[in-house]
Amino acid sequence: MEWIEILTKILVINLILSGDNAVVIAMASRNLPEHLQKKAIRWGTLGGITLRILFTFLMVFLLNLPLIQLIGGILLLLVSYKLLVDKHEEKKIKVGNSLLDAVMIIILADLIMSLDNVLAIAAIANNDLFLIMIGITLSIPIILIASQFMMRLMQKYAIIIYIGAGLLAWTAGDMMLKEPPVRQFFETNGVSELLFLTGVTVIIMVLGWIRRKQLELHRL
């Protein structure tokens, strides 16, 4: 049951955080003939996933270093806040005029945008390499098929973004609690971990909601 819960969380995060990747793939290859578009998508995605796997193994190693769980948790909180604040829409992406151009654009963009995804998967899976590999495997069809549809849903139904941001914020708090000095502080002072996780999640979501509303008013 615990594995099912973890894989469900990974699936939700993959769906929400992979929307931009799908946009990059579509935009980078849109000027190519149809038969080359398929090749660009196939090879670009394969290259991006390969680099993502290597990056994930590096992340697992880093998360075993002192204070990295705390730093990673803070970074994941920023990802959660950014998810709420960003306006999720199709952005202007550099277009590849050849198969090689398109493939390189897709790989580079996927690598740059995958930091939040990799960090979230590693945190949710608690550095379990087997679960992490399943999470990365799940991300392949999601990027290719479902993520652009999910991005459209997020534009229409903001509640999806709040669910994803809340899950990320909770995971970030749980990640910070795994750091020995932090856990010792909570145990020594009798502070409730559940209260901390709830508080962190609520604070991020409230701050994100306020900033989101401010940006929406500014755009009017």
Q: What is the pLDDT of residues 78-98, one digit of tens each?
A: 888 887 887 554 445 555 567
Q: How confident is the model at residue 19 (pLDDT cuts 50, 70, 90)?
A: low
pLDDT at position 198 is: 95
pLDDT at position 103 is: 75
Cα–Cα distances in Å, from 111 out to 38, 40, 86, 181?
20, 16, 19, 32
* Distance of alpha carbon 114 from alpha carbon 56, whole angstroms: 10
User: Does residue 155 carry a pLDDT above 80?
Assistant: no
Indicate whether this model's pTM tops 0.85. no
Q: How many other CB atoms are found less than 10 A from the CB of residue 199?
A: 12
pLDDT at position 66 is: 81
Q: How confident is the model at residue 146 (pLDDT cuts 50, 70, 90)?
A: low
pLDDT at position 90 is: 46
* Distance of alpha carbon 102 from alpha carbon 126, whole angstroms: 35
